[in-house]
Amino acid sequence: MGAAALDRELDDLAATARAELVREIEASGAWDEDPVWREAFEAVPRHLFVPYYYVGVVGGYERRWGESPDPRTRERWLRGAYEDAPLATRLRDGELLSSSSQPSLMARMLAELGVEDGNRVLEIGAGTGYNAALLAHRLGDDLVTTVDLEPEITESARQHLAAAGHHPAVVTGDGARGVPERGPFDRIIATCALTSIPRAWLAQCNPGARILAPFATGLIALTVRDPAHAEGRFLHTPAYFVPLRGETRPDQESHQLGTIPRRARNHDLFRFLLALTRDTLAPQEAFAVWEREEQPERRRYGITISTDRAWAWLDDPKGPYIWPLR
């Protein structure tokens, strides 16, 4: 089979695989609140954003490459690009630096972001550029900005976006500082895990803006009242992301859990509470709260940021369970 015929075969396979992925995302209920995202996922080809990626194998990682001379390897690469799974895209000394998130989680986050026509959006963590492309398809290139600390990441994201026909602003810089020259923003979405909510983001938001970010293995959705105040609750879904570069990496295993019952140690909601209160509660104190409040789900927790402080809370920002945040 000639090269042109192979390319046509891969294009057909990509279209089929993308349609299957869209059906899988739809079945998950990810965009029940905003089905307009279906069109974006149908239109934006994910494989253009992952020309290579890594899959875990015994003893390390295996690289899958879209330009492999072996047709079977290229087919495995293409099928893998459209699985509803995260893909490791950049490693350094065995450490994951960047990835393409699970598409159904991306769809859920985009739907929860509550984007409206004309909104100006800032994405923290450019990654492969795929998420920025989905936003650009929905809003137009001029309204989308994505930022990342690593020049290699922003340059490759820019190339991937151009290959897919999109040209949003791709900025190299510290995401914690935002991109003030491109604001003010109506929505900010982070695709990397945070240990604090940068106040610079609030200052770059219009009143009523929404911030959606991974925090303590959950997703916090904040409404910005003004540059000195934001508040919101966590979504119900768990979320695990690569940490924001430029911040101190949180040590999620710093607590000594040996005296905690195993059913709590291995319980996702207890570990969420531990991560949320890691600076203020000892494990036994966290366990007491968790037991007393009947293993509260993520949606019962929230975060408030005011003029001079920030805190996490359970049920009520002025209630008995509040914990200072950095």
> Mind listing the pLDDT tens digit for each residue in 265-299?
789 999 999 999 988 999 999 999 999 999 999 99
Residue 245, domain member (yes or no): no
Is the separation of the CB atoms in 71 and 99 below 8 Å?
Answer: no
Residue 319, domain member (yes or no): yes
Whether residue 108 is found in the same domain as residue 219: yes
Residue 244, domain member (yes or no): no
Task: Name the domain count of the chain.
Answer: 2
Does residue 255 have a pLDDT over 70?
Answer: no
pLDDT band at 248 (very low <50, low <70, confident <90, very high): very low
Place of tokens 């000892």: 282
pLDDT in tens, 147-173: 999 999 999 999 999 999 999 999 999
What's residue 250's pLDDT? 45
Whether residue 229 is found in the same domain as residue 266: no
Q: Exposure string (b/e) for 231-263, b if CB count within 10 Å is 16 or more?
A: ebbbbeebbebbebbebeebeeeebebeebeee
Domain boundary among 217, 234, 251: 234
Is residue 196 among the annotated active site residues? no
Angle made by CA atoms 250, 256, 262, in degrees to the nearest 5: 110
Residue 292, domain member (yes or no): yes
Higher per-residue confidence, 295 vs 59: 295
Whether residue 84 is found in the same domain as residue 230: yes
pLDDT in tens, 228-243: 999 999 999 999 888 8
Does residue 176 have a pLDDT over 90?
Answer: yes
**Dihedral angle of Cα 50, 137, 119, 309, to the nearest 10 degrees:** -10
CATH code of 200's domain: 3.40.50.150
Whether residue 10 is found in the same domain as residue 51: yes
Residue 239, domain member (yes or no): no
Residue 123, domain member (yes or no): yes
Does residue 249 have a pLDDT over 60?
Answer: no
Cβ atoms < 10 Å from Cβ of 200: 16
DSSP state of 197: -
Whether residue 273 is found in the same domain as residue 144: no
Rounded Cα–Cα distance for residues 49 and 61 (Å): 19
Backbone φ and ψ of 279, nearest 5°? -90, -10
Strand order in the sheet with 60-65: 60-65, 52-57, 87-92, 95-100
pLDDT band at 319 (very low <50, low <70, confident <90, very high): very high
Rounded Cα–Cα distance for residues 168 and 188 (Å): 15
Q: Which of 98, 100, 104, 156 is catalytic?
A: 98
pLDDT band at 254 (very low <50, low <70, confident <90, very high): very low
pLDDT band at 206 (very low <50, low <70, confident <90, very high): very high
Whether residue 40 is found in the same domain as residue 174: yes
Question: Exposed (0-12), middle (13-18) or buried (19+): which is 56, by Cβ within 10 Å?
Answer: exposed
CA 177 vs CA 43, 92, 123, 126: distances in Å: 32, 25, 12, 15
DSSP secondary structure, 53-89, as one string: EEEEETTEEEEEETT-S-HHHHHHHHHHHTSSS-EEE
pLDDT band at 90 (very low <50, low <70, confident <90, very high): confident
- Which alpha helices (H) appear in the chain, and where do they start and end? 3-27, 36-43, 71-81, 103-113, 130-139, 151-163, 199-203, 262-265, 268-276, 283-292
Angle made by CA atoms 217, 182, 244, in degrees to the nearest 5: 25
Boundaries of domain holding 319: 262-324
Does residue 2 have a pLDDT over 90?
Answer: no
